[in-house]
Amino acid sequence: MVLNSRDDAKSILHRLIFVSMISPDLADKRDLGEFWEQQFQQYNQGETVTGILLLYPSCTIHVLESGGDVLYCALRDLSKMKKQGERALVLNPKILVLSHNIPNRLFSQWSYKVLDVPGHYLGDKYSEEATDGIITECLTKILKIGKQLTKYPKGSKTIPNSLFEKSPELTIPQTSILHLLHSRELLTPDQFLQAYDSPLHVTLDSGHVFGSLNQTSV
């Protein structure tokens, strides 16, 4: 399958997962959830956005499911934040996975959750070789969170506390996210957009998106 234009990308469903640091100047992390909700409305692409934003004390992991144009706009916003410097809400985002042509949505709506969990980056505890395993761990937990959320009523943009209280094993360790943010294998939005905007055709195969636009699925 070859993706030759953004029109092709818009006609199918995609899933983007990225991690980022939270600005230390952000007093209320819920403001970041409200920011993204406002951005989705501004994109006005006629595409439904579903997914989940998990807000940790110092970082985030964000899942977005929508058409290609919406995800492209989100990546553009992340790229613009870099130019805002200290005024940016998130810092140093990295793309974990981009899945093309996914058959079904994992989430029925977009929602967010502020998590109060301990965790500090442990430096050399994780080697570069551990990145694949950490990615697999994150994707597995995201899949399980999506399944658990189907048991809760749809409507609220905030995830009930009971979800993680009843199933603490669903919580992605903050140390795992911080490791991914330090990984040299993951693309920044700028690096991804540079490749996306190039005139070259992009072939979609199976595999992780580290240095290419390969298809990946949760």
Looking at the predicted structure, is the pLDDT value of residue 28 above 80? yes
Q: Which residue has the tokens 């580290």?
A: 210
Tens of pLDDT along 180-199?
A: 999 988 999 999 998 876 65
Q: What is the pLDDT of residue 176?
A: 92
Tens of pLDDT along 129-155?
A: 588 899 999 999 999 999 999 888 777
Alpha-carbon dihedral sign for residues 34, 46, 140, 129: negative
The reply to whether 209 falls in a domain is no
Query: How far is the C-alpha of 134 from the C-alpha of 101, rounded, in Å?
Result: 24
The reply to whether 208 falls in a domain is no
The reply to whether 51 falls in a domain is yes
**CB-count exposure of residue 218 (10 Å: 0-12, 13-18, 19+):** middle
The reply to whether 214 falls in a domain is no
Average pLDDT, rounded, for the chain: 81
The proportion of the chain whose per-residue pLDDT surpasses 70, expressed as a percent, equals: 77
The reply to whether 121 falls in a domain is yes
Domain coverage including residue 18: 2-197
Domain count, the chain: 1
User: E strand or H helix at 110, and its extent?
Assistant: strand 110-114
Query: How far is the C-alpha of 24 from the C-alpha of 203, rounded, in Å?
Result: 39
The reply to whether 72 falls in a domain is yes
Q: What is the pLDDT of residue 82?
A: 76
Q: What is the pLDDT of residue 215?
A: 41
Mean predicted confidence (pLDDT) in 196-215: 46
> CATH number for the domain including 46?
3.30.70.100
Q: Which residue has the tokens 């540079």?
A: 194
Tens of pLDDT along 49-100?
A: 999 999 999 999 999 999 999 999 999 999 988 777 657 899 999 999 999 9
Q: What is the pLDDT of residue 84?
A: 74
DSSP state string for 57-97 = SSEEEEEEEEEHHHHHHHHHHHHHHHHHGGG-SEEEEEEEE
**Shortest CA distance to 29 belongs to which of 112, 91, 110, 117?**
112
The reply to whether 210 falls in a domain is no
The reply to whether 129 falls in a domain is yes
Please state whether beta strands 110-114 and 202-203 pair in parallel, antiparallel, or not at all (unpaired).
unpaired
Q: Which one is predicted more confidently, 6 or 197? A: 197
Looking at the predicted structure, is the pLDDT value of residue 209 above 50? no
Name the E strands within 115-210. 202-203
